[in-house]
Amino acid sequence: MGHAAKGADLPLNRILAGDCIEAMNALPAGSVDLIFADPPYNLQLRADLHRPDNSRVDAVDDAWDRFANFSTYDEFTRAWLSAARRLLKPNGAIWVIGSYHNIFRLGAELQNQGYWILNDVVWRKSNPMPNFRGKRLTNAHETLIWASREEGARYTFNYEALKALNDGVQMRSDWVLPICTGHERLKNADGDKAHPTQKPESLLHRVLVATTNPGDVVLDPFFGTGTTGAVAKMLGRDFIGIERETAYREVAEKRLSRVRRYDKSGLEVTRAKRAEPRVPFGTLVERGMLRPGEVLVSQSGKTAKVRADGTLVSADHTGSIHQVGAALEGAPSCNGWTYWTFRKDGEHVPIDVLRQQIRAEMR
Amino acid sequence: MGHAAKGADLPLNRILAGDCIEAMNALPAGSVDLIFADPPYNLQLRADLHRPDNSRVDAVDDAWDRFANFSTYDEFTRAWLSAARRLLKPNGAIWVIGSYHNIFRLGAELQNQGYWILNDVVWRKSNPMPNFRGKRLTNAHETLIWASREEGARYTFNYEALKALNDGVQMRSDWVLPICTGHERLKNADGDKAHPTQKPESLLHRVLVATTNPGDVVLDPFFGTGTTGAVAKMLGRDFIGIERETAYREVAEKRLSRVRRYDKSGLEVTRAKRAEPRVPFGTLVERGMLRPGEVLVSQSGKTAKVRADGTLVSADHTGSIHQVGAALEGAPSCNGWTYWTFRKDGEHVPIDVLRQQIRAEMR
DNA sequence: GCCAATGGTGAATCATCCA
DNA sequence: TTGGATGATTCACCATTGG
């Protein structure tokens, strides 16, 4: 690792001001173990968006996220990825994060430059912002790409640590983590969010535990309010941050001064117990366990037909298995899972049996 | 939709033999509602990155080599995506699916050609193959991209149906579905799997319910063993398949001959309110359901008087139910139908109830 | 002090019809 | 083609307030 030389040459645990490409070019080649990069996404906003209650969505419209066209964005991507690659040690690796607006361009350029993709990882947000106009799917994830400097490199991967983080089974390429809210979300003096796109520390925690060792040097060329630095410090890694905006640097400096490195025992994480996973009734239809047009029969002899979208139709009612059951019984509510049965081998079997099958597969 | 012309010009519900680009170029422009494409990952490309003796290629040659090979794949991608775009109706859409080997190149080229990305969707596999060597994360997902032909197009999205499929909450961009196994997995006579990457029918079910209507034409240029065609047929959509390999076509033909369309009542799906006929507010006054001079009260306690022409007057504003509501609330817009109430038997009832009465009479 | 009700908010390429 | 009017549309979580 060359710890003595490292300290002499590198501005460790500091935030460098200025353009990330210039700043990277001023650092010595082959000096960094890991790069985590959260570049501008190039969101292409069209107009204001309002919630159904008429409040305005505070969207990302900052100057730093605006590019004239794809070609300009690609040029920027090419330049910073190339500067980043020069800084990596031969066995170093990079993470980039993005959304569908930019991630395909990032991934293609990584490949073009000779980076070797190891995994793409999906950050599944447990609490994403909904789609307010009902025109698309809820944008509920972001994509990360993990790549080594080149094919055949001996990158760092702490397989056992991640397996432990995942209750003893292999960590998968989809990570369910909440977005950054509450006390963790940094605020300005006026109470507004300090940065529009602050990432949760849990995400960086997993990235750094997975792909670095204590003492490694982690570079973040789009440092923002310093989540990468904060988690690196907690985990006993060294960091180098680069950030152009003075306001973000100031917030990050303050944040970092308050961060304390964990002692070894502090690395334990408390894990919430998982409830039984929710299984929508529609899943049974999609998976062919029930066919659209098939007739369900209730315990009391009422019938209804299944539709392709997982709703039921009886003579007078349309809706979910629960709604139609309740309507037919004149009851305020009804558990459709136990109320409805389907025919199997001449027998009436509660549809809940099918739900249990799916849950069993998910374990 | 032009069903007569459609049948005359298009080889509906058939599998075309041959190269997909040539086959697509032989079809009439603007004739297809949806394209679902599962293109090859280009194994050629990966093989080329190693020398036959498994030696590592040197850095300079490596970069050139890689560029040349990605370039070949990109050229292929460019050609078929362009042929596909020509076939789409103006309001048509496309789905592509891939893994990190090719999805970034697909996504970037979609954007380059002017397709407009609507969502990227993660197919989260509930039962992926584990990573045996413990060198990476378990590759537990694939990525789909859903894009319209161009920005501003009026693509099909059955929002309410997908919400129903998901137990009443809007569908997210991450879909948990099992891989294709068991009896659904097609086998050759020798018991081997008939196709290496057969997709589950549940995935196509969700795609087609979400973004097509019964009677739409769905094209799959990499038809394989025909999952797209099978689900399209079940759901009452027409399909066109293109497949180069004779063996796959034969399996697909046999499979399709056994598929039955679902009963028509099962194919109906929950519709958006927008599809309901428009009822002008003035109709309520004309019909005597509300009297000129009658006072409406908002949810927030504001009042306004009904006039004979179906406008409202408050202390400071005159206009439609929506305009006066928006003005009184200082909001950019307001749905007057749910905002205003009238007195009935001493209760405040939303005026939307009266609209529903009229709509019921229209059915 | 605890629980319920209310309000705010998060990387967003977020409408359609008719004159 | 453009502009104005209509009117459809949200999930999970956290913080605050009220009882």
pLDDT tens digits, B1-50:
444 456 568 999 999 999 999 999 999 999 999 999 999 986 545 444 44
Rounded to the nearest angstrom, the minimum Cα separation between B286 and chain A is 30
Question: Which has the closest alpha carbon to B172: A39, A275, A146, A138?
Answer: A138
pLDDT at A5: 55
pLDDT at B50: 41
Q: Which residue type is seen at B143?
A: T
pLDDT at B64: 55
Q: Which residue(s) pair with B238 in the sheet?
A: B217
Between chains, do B269 and A308 touch, taking CB under 8 Å as contact?
yes
Output the distance from A178 CA to D12 C1' rounded to whole Å: 9
Question: Which has the closest alpha carbon to A313: A321, A305, A323, A303?
Answer: A305
A312 in Cβ contact with A305 (< 8 Å): yes
Identify the segments of chain B with pLDDT beneath 50.
1-4, 44, 46-62
Question: Given 3-state DSSP classes, what are the helix, strand and coil percentages for chain A, each rounded to the nearest 5?
Answer: 35, 20, 45
d(C-alpha B125, C-alpha B179), whole Å: 6
Rounded to the nearest angstrom, the minimum Cα separation between B291 and chain A is 29
CA A208 to chain centre: 15
Question: Which has the closest alpha carbon to B104: A105, A97, A81?
Answer: A105
Query: Residue A9: CB partners within 8 Å, gap ≥ 6?
Result: A28, A31
pLDDT at B43: 54
Residue A236's alpha-carbon distances to A2, A13, A262, in angstroms, are: 17, 11, 8
d(C-alpha A91, C-alpha B169), whole Å: 45
> Residue A77: CA atoms inside 13 Å, Cβ hemisphere, count?
28
Tell which strand D nucleotides have any atom below 7 Å from a protein Cβ: 5-15
Residues from chain B contacting residue A172 (CB–CB below 8 Å): 128, 137-138, 140-141
Burial class (CB in 10 A: 0-12, 13-18, 19+), B237: buried
Question: Which has the closest alpha carbon to A171: B128, B200, B142, B100?
Answer: B128
pLDDT at A46: 86
Mean pLDDT by 10 residues, chain A (363 residues): 60 98 98 98 92 94 93 97 98 98 98 97 97 98 98 96 90 96 94 96 96 97 98 96 98 96 58 67 95 96 97 95 95 93 96 93 75
Residues from chain A contacting residue B48 (CB–CB below 8 Å): none
Q: Where are the beta strands (DSSP E) in A2-80?
A: 14-17, 32-37
**SS3 label, residue B212:** coil
Query: Residue B35: CB partners within 8 Å, gap ≥ 6?
Result: B84, B87, B88, B92, B93, B94, B95, B218, B219, B220, B221
Residues from chain A contacting residue B268 (CB–CB below 8 Å): 307-308, 313
Buried b (16+ CB within 10 A) or exposed e, B79-92: ebbebbbbbbbeeb
